[in-house]
């Protein structure tokens, strides 16, 4: 099981029957793929096994969901109110080019502005500031590269160096 979120309720009875405020954790079952689908002798576990199984087997597994409505879950999460002025400043500073790879923005927004994504090189959730010295405008692929691949931390470090040259302190 994994925790998909939580919420609070005021009407939960305790062992004595008294109503109390409770935190309710939403647990979701995780398919145990390591027992049935892991190739013999493999050390691959979890969702990585899907990348090693034969494509026809994966297609068969994927076909189980055809026509089914996916389950919906609700989750409580923390969001940060970022500065709209900062967002526009960083995009305008980039002048239509990714400040990471120098590629031109891939398309224009509905309002005719180059589409670039502001990236906080120091995460707000870790106490990073909403400050133009720490925000860089990125091509969507460069932004995904920071958050998803194996070299994301290293790439974020490279972006910090580039940002120091763009916005000296």
Q: How far apart are CA 115 and CA 98, in angstroms?
A: 9
pLDDT of res. 46 = 52
pTM of the entire predicted model? 0.61
pLDDT of res. 28 = 65
Strand-pairing partners, residue 13, are 19
Q: Which residues fall within 8 angstroms of residue 138, CB to CB, at 6 or more apart?
A: 98, 99, 100, 116, 117, 118, 119, 146, 159
Secondary structure (DSSP) of 124-168: GGGT----TTSEEEE-HHHHHHHHSSTTHHHHHHHHHHHHHHHS-
pLDDT of res. 62 = 81
Report mean pLDDT in 10-residue bins for the chain, 169 residues: 73 85 73 39 57 84 80 74 87 96 95 94 78 93 90 93 93
Question: Phi/psi at 45 (nearest 5 deg)?
Answer: -130, 170
Q: Are 101 and 142 in contact (CB under 8 A)?
A: yes
pLDDT of res. 33 = 32
pLDDT of res. 42 = 44
pLDDT of res. 130 = 78
pLDDT of res. 165 = 95
Q: Are 101 and 139 in contact (CB under 8 A)?
A: yes
């Amino acid at each position: 099981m994994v925790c998909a979120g939580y919420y609070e309720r005021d009407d939960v009875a305790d062992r004595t029957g008294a109503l109390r405020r409770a935190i309710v954790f939403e647990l979701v079952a995780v398919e145990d793929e390591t027992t049935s689908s892991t190739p013999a002798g493999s050390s691959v576990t979890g969702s990585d096994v899907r990348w090693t199984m034969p494509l026809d087997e994966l297609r068969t597994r994927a076909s189980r969901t055809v026509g089914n409505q996916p389950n919906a879950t609700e989750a409580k999460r923390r969001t940060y109110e970022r500065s709209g002025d900062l967002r526009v400043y960083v995009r305008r500073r980039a002048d239509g080019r990714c400040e990471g790879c120098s590629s031109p923005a891939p398309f224009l927004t509905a309002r005719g502005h180059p589409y670039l994504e502001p990236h906080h090189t120091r995460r707000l959730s870790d106490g990073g500031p909403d400050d133009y010295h720490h925000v860089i405008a990125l091509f969507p692929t460069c932004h995904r590269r920071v958050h998803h691949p194996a070299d994301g931390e290293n790439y974020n470090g490279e972006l910090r160096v580039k940002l120091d040259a763009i916005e000296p302190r």
